[in-house]
Structure formats: structure tokens, C-alpha cells
């Protein structure tokens, strides 16, 4: 993973939460480097720690959460050394911006759209009210709001969901951040709007040159936008690689399961694939491979010892004993064997993530 | 908005009418009439037939029933011509019969007259049914003054006209000759600066306490002793007098005292008093204490929310619990005791209206008593809002905690609080019962419980009408206020 263009580097991160007098380990020893200008997608099921992981970059963990170990290096500084809110204010919004899932509630209902955009510009760029207004209107136009000048003084309830998400993106971009974290940015939107928003973020990333981190469980989005994919399970990254590698040459049984459950692959008349069982409780210490109890390919070692990160290619890593030379050779499930062709066929039919 | 408000006001008027009508029926039908005479000293002195007749007269005046004497019945049935024959004994039975057919009860009273001699009187009465009671109440409720209002046989040449004149201060006013009031519309230095005498509410007289004084003037006219001031009267006489010329009404027989001052018959004027009226007393104290309560409670509540689970919050919760749990009577006694260390009077009349020290303790107590709930709600709304998604996003935007609270959360949390302000103002009038009783403050708080206790039905009805109207207005005002602070809410009727 050696690269000189690394913008954010996470090392051995452990995040623990105190929930009703019990300690829950949400992130277990995660290390990951983010390359400048690349789009990284973090996928995984609910509760796998995707959001918590990115929240540590901006110091936005809930009050009962704490980083107990690890470092996050950004611009030559270990962010985990930030103690006060003051320290974080230099990063949050200014250098690392976040777009949240629900645009319907992300905006203050009783403040005008214009106020909420200008506020950030005034705060972080130190501009005057008039300058901020001018820039806010430009931003609104850039994210595709017509009549920006008139709509500047309108309230969020006068905007549709898609337009609100555009505003949220405009606010996130108001300070030209280095990194944009999109925490499920399209989950609350309908599919046509989803595609528009994703294209908008893609275009803006090119224009403003920021690094994008997507958090999603929508593999369709991942296939469309990501350069790199990190698959998370039970607080760990279990597979990481180029998007093609993850989609066409996945190595971890969990990734196989995820891909097999793509509804697009379902055939008429047969049941959709689902990974059986439930994720492990994070309150208890996990022994071996966290996915082993749900895996069809689990070996005895999976229950005894945690697998290391095996290197598949220079860019592709997976955390499973199946990659050990001593492990038996296992074929990935049939349904995802020629995923490339299947997905291409879907795209050709004019699926929502096809070219516009 | 206009259409909505119009419909809303119509609905409000309807609900006021319904509430007041229900109370009218309850008061007239459920209150035992015999008990209310117990408080009437004049009634106690009467005996025999007179007592009985006084009773029926009074009940008629209060609107319970229609009372008729034998004379009334005879003249109704036989007219002026047969009246004397009827009274002499012929045809009386027919007259009684005619009235019995109309639903009247004919009662023969065998008792003693004022000299103790046995005597007999025959009278008739009919209690009104609920529909009539309600109709009677509303039909006499609004009195509109007009140039033909005065009927004075001694003054047939009285002019009937409106004209623009000047009052004693040289300020123009709409005046009237022939109306009950001389000044119809006039200006003066007291709020709301423009006043009218055209429309008046007639809600009957107070009984059995303050007999003969109209309930409206008990509430609205000044208290204490008369307060004269230098003024010029229409005759040019300049003297110190408490009379307020703007309130002068027509007087049929002005005496020589009146003719010294007035050039016309409008000589029956209200006097100015040195103490505010009951309603003003309560309003002054209530309003100041309300402002004080908001000034104390809102910042405290906000501070509690900002420091949730920290020391400030814990102190606040202890304070809230203490003030809510301890009976307010005990709180008042305790605070009065503390006040006595600062030589503050423990009863209002000790120093009276003129002294500012009379007001300090009641206002502080009224304010403190209303702080806990205000604080609790302010804290709750703030805490609720601080968990909202837009707060999370505001943090992600890089705003500081302080900015998030002052610029975002407060503006959302204030919405329900603003909505409740007009209702708090109204509750100043009716809600200060215990404090006003403890300090013997001549305000509105005690009026309703007192009049219920004394079976003063007109007063009960007056207060019912007043409080329902004010409450309804307060709710409307609250809703209008909310549109100011919350852009999402617009008052609009369907199809507006």
C-alpha cells in the first residue's frame, strides 16, 4: 500500500462505546490509507462500523464513544491528538466535510437555505455577508438549483428531497474540503434522483479535486462511482481492493455473500440469495474470523485464530484463511462467477447506473 | 391568511357562545336561589309579604323569571278601561286564569304586612326555560348608544344629533346630544389613547354583594379613594374635582351642584380613583412577573440543556422539583418570610398602591412560581432539538457548539414557547388566586371564586364571558405569533 499521494492514513484504529455499562468494540484494529483524488467506497451491512469509522476522522463520535487506540494521520498531524472542540473545528467542515443520509432532516427547518450556506462561508473563509451570498448563489447554481438568486431566501420545506441533498452537498463544498465523506448520500432518495446526485458528486470531485469516501450498502452505487472498495464486517475491513478486483475477483466469503445477494442477479422464480445468520455481538471478544459462523466455507482455523491480511495483488487484500497456501482450493459461488458479463448486460439494458 | 382568520374568528365566536350558554343554563338552573338572599342585608330587614315580593322582584331583575302583580295581570287582560273593575275583585279570577294558561304560577301569599297585620297578596310568576334564559342574556348583552337613547319627558326639546366638539382639554371629540353618553369617541393620555362610549356591554348588576353596581364597572373602574385634579367645566368654572368629564351621562334632573358645573343635562360622571381597577391591578402585576419569569427561566433552561447532566442541569432539576413538589402556599409563606427581612410589607394594603414596595414580593413570588414549568419546557425543547439531524450536520459543517445553540437550536426550540406566551398573559388575570389572597391584593384572581361562593350569578357570567373570550383570543394570538417564528406554518384556509 505504499503510495506518496496518501491524504489520510488510519493505523490500528480501535473505537469502543459504552452502552448501558457494557463496552462495545465497534472498530477493531482497522488500518487503511486513502489516496488523494480517489473515490473509496466502504461497504458492509448495518452495524458493521462504516459510519463510526469515518466519524472518527472529524471527531464526531457520540459522547459515549471513544478512540482507545490508533492514529489517523491527515496533513502531517495525528488527528487523534485533537482533544477540544476547538481543534476539531479546524478540520471539520473546513478540510473534511460530511454529507449525511437524510437530506429531509439535515437542514435546519427554520433558517433560509441561503443563511445555511453563507454561514459556512463566513465562518471558514472569513468573508463578508455580501461576498458569502454571492458565493453561495454560485454554489447553488453549480449543484443545479435554478433561479438560485430567488431560492436563496427560501426555506428547506420549499425544496424537494433531491434539491435539499444538492444544498447539503453545496454546504459541504462551501469550504473546498480536501475530503468529502458521503454517509449513504442517496439512501433516502428515489432511484432517478439517486443517479443524479451520484453524478453530481462525481463531477464536483473532478472539478474541486477532493477525495471522496462513500459509505453505502448499495453495491450498484459502488460499481458506478468507486475506484477502491473496502468491505467491512463486524468492525473490521475484511477485503480491500480496486473496484474491478472486488467485483470480479472477490476472495473473502463475506464478499461473495454480499455480491451473491445483489437483487439484480436474482432469477425469475427462484429465491433471492441471503447470507444466513446474524453478525456477532460486538460486546464480546471475537475469536478467529468474525464471519466464520455464517460462512459456508469456514475451516477449523477460522474459529481459532484471526486471519491476517493476505495480499492478492499489489492493490488487493483480503482477510481470510482461504488465501493461506495450506487452505483447500475453493471456487467462488456460481452466481457471481461471471459477474462482469452479467452486470454489463444489465447496464446495456439501460439500468439506472448506465451512462447518461 | 385573511380568509383563514375570518373563519377562525367565526369559529371562536361560536365556541364562546356555546361555552357561555352552557354556563348560563347551569348557573340559572342549578344554583339554589334561596341561598343567595342570605348575603343581602336589605332582605334580612324585611318581613312578611314585603320580603316575599322583594324576593320575586329581585329574581326578575336577575333574569330568573317573569314576575307579575295582580295589577299587571288585570291591565294586561282588560286594558286601562277594565283595570279598576278588575282590581275591585270582578274578573280577577279570569285574569289569573288567563295567566295560568300562559304558564304562570299564581301564588296567594298569606302573611303579615310591615305593621304586623295579616295581609294577602296574589302574584304570578313564570320561570324562564333555558332557551329564553340564553336569548335574554344575549339580547341585552350589547347596548349601542344612539341619539334617541335618552327618553326624558321633562326635556322634549332635546336635540338629537352627533357633532364634533372639543373636550375640556381642547382636543376634538365626537360628541352627541340625545345619546346616553355625551362623548362618543374621545382621546386622552391613557392607553389605548382613543376611547369610545358607543358600544357598551350590559352584563347586569352585581348581587348580593355590591348591590346595584354593574359587574363590568366592578372589574373596570378604579379602586381606592377619589383623586381630584384641576379641570375646567363647561360653565367655565375651574376647580379641583375627581369627575371625569369624558364619562358623563345624561341626568334627568340635574341639581344645583350640577348646574354650577355643566351647561346641559350630561352631569352624571364617573369619578377618578387613585388606585387601578381590579383588572389593571392583576394585569400590571401579572405582566411584570411574567416578563421576570421568562427572563429568569429561559436562559436558565437553555443553560441546563447546554450542560445536560452537568452541575448546572442538576441544580436546575433540584430547583424545578423543589418548587413543583412543595405546595405553592408553603413557597409563598417562605418567600414572604424572607421578604420581611428586607422590611417588605407582608400584606398589600399596608403601604397600598402608591408604594413600590407593595409590589415587590407579590411580583417576585408570582414570577418564581411560574419559572419551574417554563424552565422544564425550555430545557426539554432544547434537548429534543439538540438530537436532531440538522444539529449533527451543523457540527459536521464545523460550527462551534455555541453557534449551533444560538443560531440553530434556539430558533427551533423557541417556537412552542412563543406559542404559549399569549395564554400566559391571560392566565395573569385568573391565575394569581393564592398569591392575591395571601397578600390581600384587590385583583381579579379572587373574583371568580368569591362570586361563586356568594352565588353572584351575574358576576360569574361576566367572568365566564371575559375569560373564555380572552382565552380564545390568546390561542389565536399564539397561532399568529408562531407564524412569525416558524416559516413552515402559514395560516391559510382551504382554497386560499
Alpha helices in A234-316 (DSSP H): 243-248, 253-260, 300-304
The whole-angstrom distance between B11's CA and the closest CA on chain A is 29
Residues of A in contact with B395 (CB under 8 A): 60, 92
Q: What is the mean pLDDT of residues B386-414?
A: 90
Residues of B in contact with A184 (CB under 8 A): none
Calculate what percentage of chain B has a pLDDT beyond 70. 99
pLDDT digits (tens, 9 = 90+) for A171-223: 988 888 999 999 888 877 888 888 888 889 989 998 988 999 999 878 878 88
* Alpha-carbon gap, residue B219 to B217, rounded angstroms: 5
Residue A275 has pLDDT above 60, yes or no: yes
| Of B424, B428, B420, B422, residue with least CA distance to B280 | B428
| pLDDT given at position B312 | 94
| pLDDT given at position B8 | 92
Residues of A in contact with B415 (CB under 8 A): 110
Query: Which of B307, B309, B398 would you mutate first to test chain A, the one with the most A CBs within 10 A?
Result: B398
| pLDDT given at position A348 | 54
Residues of B in contact with A94 (CB under 8 A): 398
| pLDDT given at position B302 | 92
| pLDDT given at position A267 | 74
Residue B306 has pLDDT above 60, yes or no: yes
pLDDT digits (tens, 9 = 90+) for B316-339: 999 999 999 999 889 999 998 898
| pLDDT given at position B294 | 94
Cβ contact, residue pair A92, B396, below 8 Å? yes
Calculate what percentage of chain A has a pLDDT beyond 70. 94
Query: Which of A108, A111, A121, A139 would you mutate first to test chain B, the one with the most B CBs within 10 A?
Result: A108
pLDDT digits (tens, 9 = 90+) for B225-276: 888 988 888 888 888 989 888 889 898 888 888 888 888 888 888 888 888 8
Omega before B208 cis (within 30°)? Answer: yes
Of A89, A107, A157, which has the smallest distance from its Cβ to B398's Cβ?
Answer: A89
Instruction: Convert chain B into a string of H (helix), E (strand) and C (coil).
Output: CHHHHHHHHHHHHHHHHHHHHHHHHHHHHHCCHHHHHHHCHHHHHCCHHHHHHHHHHHHHHHCCEEEEEHHHHHHHHHHHHHHHHHHCECEHHHHHHHHHHCCCEEEEEEEECCCCCEEEEEEEEEECCHHHHHHHHHHCCEEECCCCCCCCCCCCCCCCEEEEEECCCCCEEEEEECCCECEEEEECCCCCCEEECCEEECCCECCCCCCCCEHHHHHHCCEEEECCEEEECCCCCEEEECECHHHCEECCCCCHHHHHHCCCCEEECCECEEECCHHHHHHHHHHHHHHHHHHHHHHHHHHHHHCCCCHHHHHHHHHHHHHHHCCHHHHHHHHHHHHHHCCCCCCHHHCCCCCCHHHHHHHHHHHHHHHHHHHHHHHHHHHHHHCCHHHHHHHHCCCCHHHHHHHHHHHHHHHHHHHHHHHHHHHHHHCCHHHHHHCCCCCCCCHHHHHHHCCCHHHHHHHHHHHHHHHHHHHHHHHHHHHHHCCCCCCCCCCC
Helix H or strand E encompassing A351: none
Query: Which of A95, A109, A181 would you mutate first to test chain B, the one with the most B CBs within 10 A?
Result: A109
Q: Tell me the pLDDT band of A347, cut-offs 50, 70 and 90.
A: low
The whole-angstrom distance between A200's CA and the closest CA on chain B is 20
Q: What is the mean pLDDT of residues A62-80?
A: 89
Q: Tell me the pLDDT band of B11, cut-offs 50, 70 and 90.
A: very high
| pLDDT given at position A346 | 63
Minimum CA–CA partner of A101 in chain B: B389
Cβ contact, residue pair B392, A168, below 8 Å? no
Q: Tell me the pLDDT band of B367, cut-offs 50, 70 and 90.
A: very high
Q: Tell me the pLDDT band of A109, cut-offs 50, 70 and 90.
A: very high
Q: What is the DSSP string of A87-147?
A: HHHTTBTTTEEEE-S-HHHHS-TTS-HHHHHHHHHHHHH---HHHHHHHHHHHHHHTT-TT
Residues of A in contact with B412 (CB under 8 A): 108-110
B373 with B296: CB under 8 angstroms? no
Q: Tell me the pLDDT band of A350, cut-offs 50, 70 and 90.
A: very low
Minimum CA–CA partner of A177 in chain B: B397
Query: Which of A61, A100, A110 would you mutate first to test chain B, the one with the most B CBs within 10 A?
Result: A110
Cβ contact, residue pair A120, B412, below 8 Å? no
Residue A112 has pLDDT above 90, yes or no: yes
Residue B368 has pLDDT above 70, yes or no: yes
pLDDT digits (tens, 9 = 90+) for B161-181: 899 988 888 889 999 988 999
**Within 13 Å and on the Cβ side, how many CA atoms surround B403?**
17
Residue A30 has pLDDT above 60, yes or no: yes
Minimum CA–CA partner of B390 in chain A: A106
Q: What is the mean pLDDT of residues B419-444?
A: 86
| pLDDT given at position A343 | 67
> Please, which residues bridge with residue B194 across strands?
B187
Of A329 and B408, more confident: B408
Cβ contact, residue pair A106, B393, below 8 Å? yes
Residue A135 has pLDDT above 60, yes or no: yes
Of B389, B408, B412, which has the smallest distance from its Cβ to A100's Cβ?
Answer: B389
Of B322 and B159, more confident: B322
Q: What is the mean pLDDT of residues B438-450?
A: 87
Residues of A in contact with B389 (CB under 8 A): 100, 102, 105-106
Of B400, B401, B408, which has the smallest distance from its Cβ to A108's Cβ?
Answer: B408
| ipTM rounded to 2 decimals | 0.85
Residue A340 has pLDDT above 70, yes or no: no
Q: Tell me the pLDDT band of B38, cut-offs 50, 70 and 90.
A: confident
pLDDT digits (tens, 9 = 90+) for B56-91: 999 998 899 999 988 888 888 887 777 777 777 777
Distances, alpha carbon B254 to alpha carbons A3, A59, B110, B212, B267, in Å: 110, 87, 42, 21, 7
Cβ contact, residue pair A98, B393, below 8 Å? yes
C-alpha cell at B211: 348591590
Residue A355 has pLDDT above 50, yes or no: no
Residues of B in contact with A175 (CB under 8 A): 398
Q: Tell me the pLDDT band of B378, cut-offs 50, 70 and 90.
A: very high
Cβ contact, residue pair A109, B395, below 8 Å? no
Cβ contact, residue pair B415, A110, below 8 Å? yes
Cβ contact, residue pair A109, B488, below 8 Å? yes
Q: Hey, what domains does chain B have and what are their CATH numbers?
A: 32-138 (no CATH), 144-201+228-271 (no CATH), 278-445 (1.10.3720.10)
Lookup result for grid cell 462525481: A202
Of B397, B411, B412, which has the smallest distance from its Cβ to A120's Cβ?
Answer: B397
Residue A159 has pLDDT above 70, yes or no: yes
Could you tell me which residues of chain B have a Cβ less than 8 Å from any Cβ in chain A?
Answer: 388-390, 392-401, 403, 407-408, 411-412, 415, 485-488
Residues of A in contact with B397 (CB under 8 A): 92-93, 97, 119-120, 123, 171-172
The pTM assigned to this predicted structure is 0.81
Q: What is the mean pLDDT of residues B461-468?
A: 92
| pLDDT given at position A345 | 65
Could you tell me which residues of chain A have a Cβ less than 8 Å from any Cβ in chain B?
Answer: 58, 60, 85-86, 89, 91-94, 97-98, 100, 102, 105-111, 119-120, 123-124, 155, 157, 168, 171-172, 175
Q: What is the mean pLDDT of residues A95-102?
A: 88
| pLDDT given at position A2 | 47
Q: Tell me the pLDDT band of B116, cut-offs 50, 70 and 90.
A: confident
Residues of A in contact with B399 (CB under 8 A): 93, 119-120, 123
**A235 dihedral zone (left: phi>0; alpha: psi -120 to 50; beta):** left
| pLDDT given at position A344 | 62
Residue A4 has pLDDT above 70, yes or no: no
Amino acid at each position: 500500500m505504499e503510495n506518496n499521494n496518501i491524504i489520510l492514513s488510519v493505523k490500528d484504529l480501535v473505537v469502543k462505546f459504552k452502552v448501558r455499562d457494557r463496552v462495545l468494540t465497534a472498530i477493531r484494529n482497522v488500518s487503511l490509507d486513502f489516496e488523494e483524488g480517489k473515490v473509496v467506497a466502504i461497504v458492509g451491512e448495518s452495524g458493521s462500523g462504516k459510519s463510526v469509522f469515518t466519524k472518527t476522522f472529524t471527531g464526531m463520535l457520540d459522547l459515549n464513544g471513544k478512540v482507545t487506540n490508533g492514529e489517523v494521520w491527515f496533513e502531517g498531524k495525528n488527528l487523534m491528538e485533537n482533544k477540544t472542540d476547538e481543534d476539531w473545528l479546524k478540520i471539520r467542515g473546513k478540510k473534511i466535510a460530511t454529507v449525511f443520509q437524510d437530506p429531509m432532516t439535515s437542514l435546519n427547518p427554520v433558517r433560509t437555505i441561503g443563511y445555511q450556506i453563507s454561514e459556512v462561508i463566513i465562518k471558514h473563509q472569513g468573508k463578508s455577508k455580501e461576498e458569502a451570498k454571492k458565493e453561495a448563489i454560485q454554489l447553488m447554481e453549480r449543484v443545479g438549483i435554478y433561479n438560485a438568486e430567488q431560492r436563496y431566501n427560501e426555506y428547506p420545506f420549499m425544496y424537494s428531497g433531491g434539491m435539499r441533498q444538492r444544498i447539503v452537498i453545496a454546504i459541504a463544498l462551501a469550504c473546498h474540503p480536501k475530503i468529502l465523506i458521503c454517509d449513504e448520500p442517496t439512501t433516502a432518495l428515489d432511484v432517478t434522483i439517486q443517479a443524479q446526485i451520484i453524478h453530481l458528486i462525481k463531477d464536483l470531485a473532478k472539478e474541486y479535486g477532493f477525495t471522496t469516501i462513500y459509505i453505502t450498502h448499495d453495491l450498484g452505487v459502488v460499481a458506478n462511482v468507486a475506484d477502491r472498495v473496502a468491505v467491512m464486517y463486524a468492525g473490521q475491513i475484511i477485503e480491500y481492493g480496486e473496484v474491478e478486483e472486488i467485483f470480479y475477483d472477490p476472495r473473502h466469503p463475506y464478499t461473495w455473500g454480499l455480491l451473491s445477494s445483489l437483487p439484480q442477479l436474482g432469477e425469475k422464480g427462484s429465491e433471492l440469495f441471503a447470507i444466513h445468520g446474524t453478525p456477532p455481538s460486538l460486546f464480546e471478544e471475537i475469536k478467529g474470523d468474525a464471519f466464520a459462523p455464517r460462512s459456508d466455507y469456514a475451516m477449523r482455523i477460522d474459529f481459532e485464530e484471526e486471519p491476517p491480511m493476505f495480499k492478492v495483488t499489489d492493490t488487493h487484500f483480503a482477510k481470510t484463511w482461504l488465501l493461506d497456501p495450506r487452505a483447500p482450493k475453493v471456487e467462488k459461488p456460481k452466481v457471481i462467477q461471471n459477474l462482469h458479463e452479467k452486470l454489463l448486460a444489465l447496464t446495456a439494458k439501460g439500468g439506472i447506473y448506465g451512462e447518461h | 391568511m385573511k380568509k383563514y382568520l375570518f373563519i377562525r374568528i367565526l369559529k371562536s365566536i361560536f365556541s364562546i357562545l356555546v361555552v357561555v350558554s352552557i354556563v348560563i343554563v347551569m348557573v340559572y338552573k342549578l344554583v339554589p336561589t334561596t341561598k343567595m338572599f342570605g348575603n343581602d342585608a336589605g332582605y334580612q330587614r324585611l318581613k312578611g309579604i314585603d320580603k316575599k315580593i322583594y324576593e320575586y322582584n329581585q329574581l326578575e331583575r336577575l333574569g330568573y323569571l317573569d314576575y307579575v302583580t295582580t295589577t299587571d295581570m288585570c291591565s294586561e287582560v282588560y286594558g286601562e278601561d277594565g283595570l279598576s273593575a278588575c282590581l275591585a275583585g270582578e274578573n280577577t279570577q279570569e285574569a289569573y286564569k288567563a295567566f295560568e294558561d300562559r304558564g304562570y304560577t299564581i301564588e296567594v301569599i298569606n302573611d303579615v304586612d310591615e305593621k304586623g297585620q295579616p295581609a294577602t297578596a296574589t302574584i304570578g310568576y313564570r320561570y324562564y326555560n333555558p332557551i329564553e334564559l340564553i336569548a335574554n342574556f344575549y339580547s341585552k348583552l350589547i347596548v349601542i348608544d344612539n341619539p334617541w337613547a335618552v327618553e326624558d319627558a321633562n326635556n322634549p326639546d332635546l336635540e338629537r344629533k352627533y357633532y364634533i366638539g372639543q373636550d375640556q382639554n381642547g382636543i376634538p371629540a365626537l360628541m352627541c346630544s340625545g345619546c346616553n353618553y355625551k362623548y362618543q369617541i374621545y382621546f386622552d393620555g391613557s392607553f389605548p389613547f382613543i376611547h369610545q362610549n358607543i358600544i357598551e356591554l350590559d352584563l347586569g348588576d352585581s348581587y348580593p354583594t355590591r348591590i346595584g353596581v354593574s359587574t363590568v364597572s366592578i372589574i373596570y373602574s378604579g379602586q381606592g379613594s377619589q383623586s381630584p385634579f384641576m379641570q375646567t367645566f363647561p360653565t367655565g368654572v375651574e376647580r379641583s374635582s375627581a369627575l371625569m368629564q369624558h364619562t358623563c351621562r345624561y341626568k334627568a334632573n340635574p341639581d344645583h351642584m350640577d348646574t354650577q358645573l355643566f351647561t346641559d343635562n350630561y352631569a352624571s360622571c364617573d369619578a377618578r380613583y387613585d388606585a387601578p381597577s381590579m383588572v389593571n391591578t392583576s394585569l400590571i402585576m401579572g405582566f411584570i412577573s411574567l416578563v421576570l419569569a421568562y427572563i429568569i427561566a429561559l436562559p436558565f433552561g437553555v443553560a441546563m440543556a447546554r450542560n445536560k447532566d452537568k452541575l448546572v442541569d442538576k441544580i436546575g432539576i433540584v430547583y424545578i422539583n423543589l418548587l413543583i413538589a412543595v405546595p405553592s402556599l408553603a413557597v409563598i409563606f417562605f418567600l414572604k418570610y424572607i421578604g420581611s427581612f428586607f422590611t417588605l410589607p407582608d400584606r398589600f394594603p399596608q403601604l397600598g398602591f402608591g408604594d413600590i414596595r407593595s409590589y415587590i414580593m407579590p411580583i417576585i413570588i408570582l414570577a418564581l412560581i411560574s419559572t419551574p414549568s417554563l424552565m422544564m419546557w425550555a430545557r426539554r425543547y432544547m434537548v429534543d432539538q439538540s438530537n436532531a439531524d440538522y444539529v449533527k450536520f451543523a457540527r459536521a459543517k464545523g460550527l462551534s457548539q455555541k453557534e449551533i445553540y444560538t443560531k440553530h437550536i434556539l430558533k427551533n426550540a423557541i417556537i412552542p414557547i412563543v406559542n404559549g406566551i399569549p395564554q400566559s398573559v391571560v392566565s395573569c388575570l385568573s391565575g394569581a388566586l393564592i398569591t392575591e389572597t395571601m397578600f390581600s391584593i384587590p385583583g381579579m384572581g379572587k373574583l371568580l371564586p368569591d362570586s361563586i361562593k356568594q352565588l353572584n350569578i351575574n358576576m360569574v357570567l361576566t367572568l365566564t364571558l371575559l375569560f373564555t373570550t380572552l382565552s380564545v383570543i390568546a390561542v389565536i394570538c399564539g397561532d399568529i405569533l408562531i407564524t412569525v417564528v416558524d416559516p413552515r406554518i402559514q395560516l391559510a384556509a382551504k382554497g386560499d
